Amino acid sequence: MSLIVVVDDQGSNQRIYSRLSKLAGEDVNVKTFASPFRMLDWLEEGEPDLIITDYKMPGMDGAQLTRRLRDMPNSADVPIIVLTAYEDLSFRLMALEAGATDFLQTPVNHEEFVSRARNFLKFRRQQQSVKLKAQALERRLLDSEYFRQIAVRDSREQLAQVIDTVPALISATDRDGRCVFVNAMFAVYSGRDPAACVGLPAETLLAGTDVARLRQVERSVLTRGLPHPAYEEAIQSPEGSERYFLTTKSPLMDANSKVVGVLTSSLDVSEQKMAHERLRELALHDGLTGLPNRTYLSNRVQSLLLEPARPGRMHALHLLDIDRFKTVNDTLGHYVGDQLLQSIAQRLKLLIDENTTLSRLGGDEFAFLQEGISDVSEAESLARRIVSTLSDPIDVARHRVNATASLGIALIGPHGQDVNEILKNADLAMYQAKSEGRNRYSVFAADLRARIKESSLLEAAMRDALARGEFVLHYQPQVDIATRRISGVEALIRWQHPQRGLLSPAEFLSVAEETGLIAPISDWVLREACRQAQEWRSMGFESLTMAVNLAPVQFNYDDIPKMVSRVLADTGLPSSNLELELTENTFFDPVQNPTPRLAVLHNMGIRLTLDDFGTGYSSLLRVKMLPIDAIKIDRGFLEAIPGSEADAAIVRAIIRLAHGLKLHVVAEGVETAEQLAFLKEEKCELAQGFYLGRPVAADACLRALLDNRQAVGNAA
């Protein structure tokens, strides 16, 4: 039977851990203690096989208890798991330094708890088996009367018969350290005949012997006349591989109880050591990717912090989070998500060098620890390579997935920091990168905490902004270039913040995306825009088109056509008056696969426009297969016109491509008369931009519509 001892001052935790412990094996008994002091009293007689203790307890914490346990004979080598709710690594380090074998974060994962307990019980059984064999061997060899008879007769042949059957390395040396006898297994490892070993210095017999240690231990045995505690040593096998042995050394006495030599027995524990190393490997590495885990990374950062300061030398921690990974898990399943993480890990491994460690911290978080850099530019260089490496789509399980990353960089200096602070700084910088649009990096700076705090306040205020009616829509006209008639408007959201005034989308939409608020906000935009369009239709603008940007997250809804249809029915707006704009990434996202739903929307009579064309990964073959009515040229291509023949050629090519596919073209970002003239010459149908009209509130937009109708009518 195996005995697990649970120490926790909370009764509910005792019951949970007791129940989980019993799942570690059919022959497991569990004993619980609410007080570490009572547990120590019981340990005077009890012999546990595994101890599981909470860290925070009244009177004695988990590290202090562990230290006491390591000083007691019955628990000196018993595996100890410390449970802690503290995220601060310093508590875990204190427990490990005190002698804890492992630790688990609470609330514990039940499967992990049972697996760890089962593994440690198995290791304990192996450990006990080795110890019992070593003790039996020592008793057999030190049977004083029998050994004395053999020694007196100097019958090496008879001695060999006694000990050659023992599966251990056995030897005896005199007071000068010269070999008196060896058994058959020892001779094999020595590569000599047993008789040839006699008379040679013991330190020369086995390859890989730690000479200094051997001399020190044997001197102690000869001087004190007492056995030396078992210790582990590496010995080279006849095949040249390294094997691990548990070695004990005991004094040999003559008839007068005088120490005449040293008896050494070494038991092969290589398999047990490998099992232990495997447990250690599991504790320090991620099971999915095989990469070092958070514990390994934290330990390495801690060791860097303890190094002496060296001028011009620093380190950098890169924390990266896969953008929109949750969408992959939610839509394609966790199996595909795991495969994606493995593929990402393989790509990131290509960036590792001798000074860089890659870790997976859990979920979709990875980290690079970059050691020995001279300044921040080296960290930024690696960050750019990381972003570039993950920019290309990844093929996984017959899906092509965009798996970009947002990175936060925290520089590591020699003083004034701890591991937790560095991780927090990198996390803040990563959050900043996400808020700036994702697929980029940000370096932690002293003022970042204030900016993040401001962003957090913005998030908190945003959660109530919809209910308080603080969001408003502004409308920018889309003008028919040939007639200068306003044929439509684009709805653009603004936030009338009670303290900060009118905020543009650039100031809050990234936070909305990060927090998931983008979905209800986008739904409100669609409904309000349709309501406003119908109101203007009732004023005589029957053909006016209302363009609304759909957020990618809205295509997580399987029933988005029904949702749009319901909005149109509620507001009374005909489907022909609604235009939905989507980015290239949304159109071509294999995870969401929006094409079937877009086809339904298109068949309803709704106009669909491919927004920001030319800035993504559009394939012309795929563009021609999309159920769209128009292409919108990104403002970036118009900025240098006139003046840039290259940009002019690109815009010209896009217009001709669209017309060849029977699509209309909308150019956004028109700032000058020259740009408008160029577009007119190239037969572009529609344009919008500050030159033609800025985004304005509904009442101002209505005045612009009325003025434009009158002006166009007069011109006719």
CATH number (domain holding residue 61): 3.40.50.2300
Average confidence (pLDDT) over 485-504 = 93
Average confidence (pLDDT) over 42-52 = 90
Instruction: Indicate the pLDDT class of residue 588, thresholds 50, 70 and 90.
Output: low
Average confidence (pLDDT) over 482-486 = 94
Closest among 238, 187, 190, 247 to 216, alpha carbons compared: 247
> Are 112 and 175 in a shared domain?
no
Tokens of 103: 């630790």
> Are 268 and 312 in a shared domain?
no
Residue 455: inside a domain, yes or no? no
Supply the pTM of this predicted model.
0.51
> Are 57 and 29 in a shared domain?
yes
> Are 519 and 562 in a shared domain?
yes
Residue 105: inside a domain, yes or no? yes
Average confidence (pLDDT) over 184-195 = 90
> Are 439 and 492 in a shared domain?
no
CATH code assigned at 304: 3.30.70.270
> Are 240 and 370 in a shared domain?
no
Output the CA–CA distances (angstroms, integers) from residue 249 to 172, 212, 215, 552, in the order listed: 9, 15, 12, 72
pLDDT of 363:
87
pLDDT of 480:
95
Residue 437: inside a domain, yes or no? yes
> Are 262 and 311 in a shared domain?
no
Instruction: Indicate the pLDDT class of residue 108, thresholds 50, 70 and 90.
Output: confident
Tell which of 121, 147, 178 closes a domain: 121
Percent of the chain with pLDDT over 90: 38
Tens of pLDDT, residue by residue over 174-183, are: 999 999 888 8
Residue 700: inside a domain, yes or no? yes
Instruction: Indicate the pLDDT class of residue 186, thresholds 50, 70 and 90.
Output: very high
Helix spans in 155-201 (H): 156-163, 184-190, 194-197
pLDDT of 624:
75
Residue 560: inside a domain, yes or no? yes
Instruction: Indicate the pLDDT class of residue 128, thresholds 50, 70 and 90.
Output: confident
Higher per-residue confidence, 105 vs 222: 222
Tens of pLDDT, residue by residue over 427-447, are: 989 988 887 778 899 998 877
Burial, 132: exposed, middle or buried (Cβ in 10 Å; 0-12, 13-18, 19+)? exposed
pLDDT at 616 over 60: no
pLDDT of 620:
59
pLDDT at 255 over 90: no
Tens of pLDDT, residue by residue over 627-671, are: 889 999 888 888 888 878 888 898 998 899 889 889 999 999 999
Report the distance separating Cα 294 and Cα 279, nearest Å: 16
Average confidence (pLDDT) over 466-479 = 94
Count of CB atoms within 10 A of residue 97's CB? 11
Tell which of 398, 427, 445 closes a domain: 445
Range of the domain at 398: 285-445
> Are 237 and 320 in a shared domain?
no
Residue 148: inside a domain, yes or no? no
Report the distance separating Cα 293 and Cα 298, nearest Å: 9
CATH code assigned at 228: 3.30.450.20
Tell which of 121, 141, 176 closes a domain: 121
> Are 43 and 111 in a shared domain?
yes
pLDDT of 333:
82
pLDDT of 179:
92
Average confidence (pLDDT) over 395-411 = 88
> Are 505 and 587 in a shared domain?
yes
pLDDT at 392 over 90: no
pLDDT at 330 over 70: yes
Residue 398: inside a domain, yes or no? yes
Please state which of the ranges 101-105, 567-571, 618-622, 661-665 shows the lowest mean pLDDT.
Answer: 618-622
Let me know: does 422 contact 317? Beta carbons within 8 Å: yes
Tokens of 93: 């380090």
Residue 420: inside a domain, yes or no? yes
Tokens of 96: 């490990």
Tens of pLDDT, residue by residue over 527-547, are: 999 999 999 999 999 999 999
Number of domains in the chain: 4
Instruction: Indicate the pLDDT class of residue 144, thresholds 50, 70 and 90.
Output: very low
Higher per-residue confidence, 63 vs 271: 63
pLDDT at 703 over 80: yes
Q: Which residues contact 461 (CB under 8 A, 6 or more apart)?
A: 497, 498
> Are 642 and 605 in a shared domain?
yes
> Are 343 and 408 in a shared domain?
yes
pLDDT at 552 over 80: no
Please give the span between the terminal C-alpha atoms of the chain, in angstroms, as a whole number.
100
